[in-house]
Amino acid sequence: MSFNWPEIPFTGAEVEAFVDAYIELAESIIDDYDNYIIDPRELKSPYRYKENTKLFLEYGLLYSAFIIKQRAGNSGPGTNFILESSPYNKSLTDAQKRKIAEFMGCVWDPKQMKDSYDENVKDDPDGDLPDCKDVVVQTEDGANITPCDIIDDLVGDGEKPPCGDFWNSLRNFWKESNGYPPESEEEPSCLAIVLPSLISTIARAIDQGLALMYALMVEYLKGSGGVVDNYKLNLITLPQVNTDLYLLDRITELMQRPKGSHKFGGYSIKLLPDNSSIYGVTGGRVWLVSSADDIRFPTLKNILGDFTVVTDGTETYSIDSSVLGNDRDTPTGKAYFTSLSSSSIKQVRDDYDFDDYGWKLVRSLEGNDRPGESFDNSQIESGFLYTNSTTAPCEAVLQGGTAGKDFYSGTARWIVANTHGTGRKEQGEYGPNKPCQGKPFAIKLLY
Amino acid sequence: MRTTYELALNNIGLSLGDDQFSIETSNQETLVGIGTSVICFDIHNFSDRMNVDTYMSRNSKDGFSLETPTERILALFEYFPKLEDINVGLGSTTPYVGYKTVQSSLENVTKAMLIAILEENSKRGYVVGIGSTTLKKNKFFNCLKNLEYRNNSIQPWSDWNQTVGVCTPVSIARTDNIATVVTNPAHGMSTSYDDWGVVMKINTGVATSFNISTSLYPNGVPIKIINSNTFTYRNAGVNTSIISINGTADIKVGWGGTTNNLHLLLT
């Protein structure tokens, strides 16, 4: 029986002498099995088959040689425990990498990943998120938690609106998570960032779209305002991947959805009469895109809602004359794409705001005052659910219908509303700028 | 061979992160980078730094982790499958042992080879012994035999668990399952080595909960030296502090020298 000895990356007279002795002894040990000198029944069960003992001998050589190198204390790789000096560089096969990923609770195979998400969407009538109890994350102390646990801590069983003790619940959650009360206890709105930030961290580990969805919400809650461009978008989501390009792919797909129950006469797009040169693109077209019926997970409606896309005009479209009335883009019917490449899309513009239970950004749509452009505080007003000076955030949310049980459509609503505060504010009444009170921001992505 | 077996045999564990030995692993905890590729830094060491065998295979145990029903059945019938059995995958009837069981077995063989090859008791040394191959094989197999077939008059069982010194603890405390022992006079253990261990033998009331069972840990448990009069070791129990105790602590030497941490860079 021949051995397959590993390469030993540690050198030195002591190591070489040990390795020679090791190999000689190992071969003699296996000979004892072959020649019935050792009775395997006397051994513990892992060593009764000579094939297993041979494997253990082969794989045991590297580490035992390393110990000899350590003890000998001479120079060279493997002699101390500074990371740069002693690693054993091991290249893994794809199968081994996949297995490590699976050990860490990840799904490696792209098809499995897709199937998993498809299954989640199929089982979720809202198509928003997988059931929170199905997403298990291990904390640093080894405990398994799910978003459900966090949500349950906040809102109990979800049957009652968490209006009364919402902030106390959030504070308690913060205290438990950190072991001390927050410095900004007198400013409860800042606490609103805690939970979404935590969920955002979890989301990053799950899906690129989820990471984007929660990152934008946290950006709103921080109250930074301003314009999010490609660089900042990638920065606040997953810096190592290009979220702007991910979004471009999603949008390209969404804009070509076949006719169905979409917002604009069954389509997800509306051709606007605007001249694209207003946006700095000559010879192009301006499209309003609705993500209200996006079925992919996570839905773009929770990321961008309705947004503006400027193309360079290289795309082609045809006219559906069966669409009538205001849904028509031209006198003869409704435009729909016959070909659209992502390279045709030059700009994606949106204002990230909450026109119902949060802050809304009002645009005049004249000159440069268009989605994606900078703005000032005087353009911000309360969402339409704040009807008077005493409307509480809780009331606004409840007027908007029953909150869902998932985080984004449920708990997130309470958080967004609470950063708004009580009472309707008209244009000019927002501000001054204050961290953590929530503020719309513009998104302007150039391609 | 199953990928999990291969990973286990390559010493990949991704689970060190041991605060108790933070000095040895400072800034070197397992890191995982998932970008365009998987990059892991892992650290391998013996799961039991003090004893001849692993806890899972100690005394009459065979070395199964017993974490799955299959392993319990295999342990009952003392059957360990061939790791290279090609009959794996969907529909396979080959029983499947876990990676912890495989790593435990590998650890025992590695230790057995070191004991067999090195001179004297093989602790701390690196010189190949001059004994015959037959004598070395006797030591090797003696490490791996069932309890009833062991020869306790030859190595490793004849001398491995020897006490190398005794110190006198004067107070002891337990916080978050870490026991801190203060000795007077100084314990005398050199910080040049990371292989010290103790068997606590305290006679005072509730302080006996700090004692170490020599049937479970015949060569003691590893310690971390804090200063010349203080050391710590893992000890599960309620937080408590006892300022006056009677008893001794047997000092032991396990696997080591300077350090046994093998760093694995997985790319």
Pairwise CA distance, residues A236 & A91, whole Å: 32
Q: Which of A374, A364, A251 has its CA nearest to residue A310?
A: A251
Contact A28/B137 with Cβ under 8 angstroms? yes
Mean pLDDT of A319-335: 87
End-to-end CA distance of chain A: 63
Q: Report chain B's mean pLDDT, rounded to a whole number.
A: 84
Residue B263: list chain A partners with CB under 8 A: 81, 83, 86-88
List alpha helices for A73-165, DSSP H. Answer: 94-103, 110-123, 147-155
Exposed, middle or buried by CB within 10 Å (0-12, 13-18, 19+), for A84?
A: exposed
Does A120 score more than 70 pLDDT?
A: no
Q: How high is the pLDDT of residue A162?
A: 37
Contact A137/A145 with Cβ under 8 angstroms? yes
Mean pLDDT of A309-331: 89
Q: What is the DSSP string of A82-96?
A: -TTTSEEEEPPPHHH
Q: Which of A154, A225, A227 has its CA nearest to residue A191?
A: A154
Which residue do the tokens 């009069």 mark? B229
> In angstroms, what CA-CA distances link A244 with A67, A349, A447, B150?
49, 12, 9, 67
Phi-psi region of A379 (alpha: psi -120 to 50; beta: other; left: phi over 0): alpha
Pick among A23, A71, A94 to test the B interface (most B CBs inside 10 A): A71
Interface of B with A in 130-149 (CB under 8 A): 133, 136-137, 140-141, 144-146, 149
| B138 contacts: CB under 8 Å, gap ≥ 6 | B151, B154
Q: How high is the pLDDT of residue A107?
A: 62
With an 8 Å Cβ cutoff, are B117 and A25 in contact?
yes
Does B252 score more than 70 pLDDT?
A: yes
* pLDDT tens profile B37-65: 555 667 788 889 999 999 999 988 889 98
Mean pLDDT of B176-183: 92
Pairwise CA distance, residues B196 & B172, whole Å: 18
Q: How high is the pLDDT of residue A231?
A: 87
Pairwise CA distance, residues B89 & B10, whole Å: 21
Interface of B with A in 153-212 (CB under 8 A): none
Pairwise CA distance, residues A83 & A434, whole Å: 45
Which residue do the tokens 């397992």 mark? B30
Residue A155 burial (CB count, 10 A): 20
Q: How high is the pLDDT of residue B231?
A: 94
Q: b/e for A96-117, b at 16 or more Cβ within 10 A?
A: bbbbbbeeeeeebeeeeeeebb
Does A403 score more than 70 pLDDT?
A: no
Does A402 score more than 50 pLDDT?
A: no
Does B12 score more than 50 pLDDT?
A: yes
With an 8 Å Cβ cutoff, are A45 and B14 in contact?
no
* pLDDT tens profile B200-238: 999 877 788 899 999 899 999 999 899 999 999 989 889
Q: What is the DSSP letter of A6?
A: P
Does B128 score more than 90 pLDDT?
A: yes
> In angstroms, what CA-CA distances link B160 with A94, B122, B156?
42, 9, 5
* pLDDT tens profile B19-33: 444 334 444 444 444
* Residue B107 banded pLDDT, cuts 50, 70, 90: very high
Q: How high is the pLDDT of residue A186?
A: 35
With an 8 Å Cβ cutoff, are B113 and A64 in contact?
yes
| A313 contacts: CB under 8 Å, gap ≥ 6 | A276, A283, A284, A285, A344
Mean pLDDT of A316-330: 87
Pairwise CA distance, residues A335 & B136, whole Å: 85
Task: For B24, name the nearest residue in chain A, comparing CA atoms only.
Answer: A81
* Residue A404 banded pLDDT, cuts 50, 70, 90: very low
Structure pTM? Answer: 0.53
Q: How far B229 CA lies from chain A's nearest CA (Å)?
A: 26
Q: What is the DSSP letter of A300?
A: G
Task: For B259, name the nearest residue in chain A, comparing CA atoms only.
Answer: A70
Does A405 score more than 50 pLDDT?
A: no
Q: How high is the pLDDT of residue A166?
A: 45
Pairwise CA distance, residues A194 & A122, whole Å: 30
Structure tokens at B5: 């077996």
Q: How high is the pLDDT of residue A126?
A: 44
Does B85 score more than 90 pLDDT?
A: no
* pLDDT tens profile A137-183: 555 456 666 555 544 443 333 333 334 344 455 555 545 544 444 44
Residue B33 φ/ψ, nearest 5 degrees: -115, 120
Interface of B with A in 85-114 (CB under 8 A): 101, 104-106, 108-110, 113-114
Pairwise CA distance, residues A221 & A168, whole Å: 18
∠ CA(A104), CA(A107), CA(A111), 5° rounding?
170
A21 interfaces chain B, CB cutoff of 8 Å: yes
B70 interfaces chain A, CB cutoff of 8 Å: no
Which residue do the tokens 């090797």 mark? B140
Q: What is the DSSP letter of A144?
A: E
* Residue A265 banded pLDDT, cuts 50, 70, 90: confident
Pairwise CA distance, residues B252 & B196, whole Å: 6
* pLDDT tens profile A49-70: 999 999 999 999 999 999 998 8
* pLDDT tens profile A71-116: 887 766 665 545 455 667 777 776 776 676 666 556 655 555 555 5
Q: Where are the domains of chain B?
A: 3-158+259-266, 165-253
Q: How high is the pLDDT of residue B54?
A: 94
* pLDDT tens profile A429-444: 887 766 567 899 999 9
Amino acid at B205: G
Task: For B124, name the nearest residue in chain A, comparing CA atoms only.
Answer: A71
End-to-end CA distance of chain B: 21
Q: Which of B160, B144, B165 has its CA nearest to residue B223?
A: B165
With an 8 Å Cβ cutoff, are B113 and A53 in contact?
no
Q: Secondary structure of chain B in the HEC alphabet?
A: CCHHHHHHHCCCCCCCCCHHHCCCCCCCCCEEEECCCEEEEEEECCCCCCCCCCHHHCCCCCCCCCCCHHHHHHHHCCCCCCCCCCCCCCCCCCCCCCHHHHHHHHHHHHHHHHHHHECCCCCCCCCECCCCHHHHHHHHHHHHECHHHCCCCCCCCCCCCCCCEEECEEEEEEECCEEEEEECCCCCCCCCCCCEEEEEEECCHHHHHHCCCCCCCCCCEECEEEECCEEEEECCCCCEEECCCCEEEEEEECCCCCCCCEEEEEC
Contact A307/A371 with Cβ under 8 angstroms? yes
| B216 contacts: CB under 8 Å, gap ≥ 6 | B55, B58
B263 interfaces chain A, CB cutoff of 8 Å: yes
With an 8 Å Cβ cutoff, are B11 and A62 in contact?
yes
Q: How high is the pLDDT of residue A413?
A: 73
**Beta-bridge partner residues of B48:** none
Q: How high is the pLDDT of residue B188?
A: 93
Residue A162 φ/ψ, nearest 5 degrees: -85, 35
Mean pLDDT of B88-98: 69
Q: How high is the pLDDT of residue A161?
A: 36
Higher model confidence: residue A296 or residue A248? A248
Q: Report chain A's mean pLDDT, rounded to a whole number.
A: 76
Q: How far B75 CA lies from chain A's nearest CA (Å)?
A: 9
* Residue A357 banded pLDDT, cuts 50, 70, 90: confident
Which residue do the tokens 């009002």 mark? A362
| B162 contacts: CB under 8 Å, gap ≥ 6 | B121, B252
Q: What is the DSSP letter of A347?
A: E
Higher model confidence: residue A160 or residue A284? A284
Contacts across the A-B interface (CB distance below 8 Å):
183
Task: For B101, name the nearest residue in chain A, comparing CA atoms only.
Answer: A46
Q: How high is the pLDDT of residue A95?
A: 72
**Beta-bridge partner residues of B247:** B202
* pLDDT tens profile A204-259: 555 677 778 878 887 887 778 899 999 888 888 766 678 888 889 989 988 998 88
Judge: domain B165-253, CATH 2.40.30: yes
A2 interfaces chain B, CB cutoff of 8 Å: no
Pairwise CA distance, residues A437 & A419, whole Å: 5
Structure tokens at B119: 């001179």
Q: How high is the pLDDT of residue B47?
A: 87
